[in-house]
């Protein structure tokens, strides 16, 4: 198991008291979020031509999805968002602009609402901010997924080249748990999960995986799996 030196940022944002608060997305609020623009100008208008002809997408979701942005002392709800996983950039639509949000000012953000809500929490690694999806948490432990988009260039060498015929983005994930103030990476399989503190033994974990037909690529399956093993 690999230990990763990463400082988790903004854990308190996950508390139910903060989630229950609401903020009207007023014109003044929109002006405030525009002030977080990392570029100070319109970043994108409509289709981003940089990715034309590329298979796959650099975004977590290709379409704009309403969500929330949480800062240290401010919150914005109902904001259309996109998360460019490849470039680790949060895009927001506000007052007719598409802006790039300063990641150093954002503690966390949600994509979607209600049952479809996905929460991303900021972590800091060697002066670089990344956002990880929260899969599960209780009072002792938090399980996180880091989304990555691997860009694979087309390979046209030779008439019978076996490489990619087109540029392509492919999903790549890394998984972590936060426990007693430390963030560590784990292998997303039965053996790797059995090494996480306070989990059942390998035999019991294997039985649950088989019984519940767990797909380790599915966040829904993982969430259901961790809820079960940490409730036993």
Distance, CA of 67 to CA of 111 (rounded, Å): 5
Which residue ranges of the chain lie beneath pLDDT 50? Answer: 3-7, 11-28, 40-47, 160-161
Name the nearest CA neighbour of 59 among 23, 98, 25.
Answer: 98
User: What confidence score (pLDDT) does residue 38 get?
Assistant: 59
Helix axes 219-231, 202-212, angle to 10 degrees: 130
Q: Is 161 helix (H, G, I), strand (E, B) or coil?
A: coil
Q: What is the pTM of this model?
A: 0.77
Helix (H) or strand (E) holding 130: strand 128-137
User: What confidence score (pLDDT) does residue 49 get?
Assistant: 59
C-alpha distances out from residue 184 to 4, 42, 92, 176, 179, Å: 5, 38, 31, 5, 8
Helix (H) or strand (E) holding 98: strand 97-101
User: What confidence score (pLDDT) does residue 36 get?
Assistant: 63
């Amino acid at each position: 198991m690999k230990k990763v030196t990463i400082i988790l940022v903004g854990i308190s944002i996950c508390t139910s008291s903060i989630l229950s608060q609401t903020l009207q997305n007023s014109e003044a609020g929109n002006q405030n979020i525009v002030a977080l623009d990392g570029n100070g100008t319109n970043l994108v208008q409509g289709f981003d031509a940089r990715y034309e002809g590329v298979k796959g997408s650099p975004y977590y979701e290709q379409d704009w999805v309403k969500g929330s942005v949480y800062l240290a002392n401010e919150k914005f709800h109902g904001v259309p968002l996109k998360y460019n996983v490849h470039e680790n950039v949060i895009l927001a639509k506000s007052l007719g602009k598409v802006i790039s949000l300063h990641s150093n000012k954002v503690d966390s953000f949600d994509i979607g609402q209600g049952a479809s809500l996905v929460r991303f929490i900021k972590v800091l690694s060697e002066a670089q901010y990344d956002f990880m999806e929260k899969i599960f948490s209780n009072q002792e432990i938090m399980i996180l997924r880091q989304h990555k988009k691997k860009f694979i260039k087309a390979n046209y060498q030779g008439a019978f080249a076996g490489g990619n015929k087109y540029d392509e983005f492919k999903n790549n994930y890394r998984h972590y748990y936060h426990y007693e103030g430390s963030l560590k990476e784990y292998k997303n399989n039965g053996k790797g999960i059995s090494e996480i503190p306070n989990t059942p033994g390998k035999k019991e974990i294997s039985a649950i995986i088989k019984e519940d037909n767990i797909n380790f690529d599915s966040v829904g399956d993982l969430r259901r799996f961790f809820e079960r093993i940490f409730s036993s």
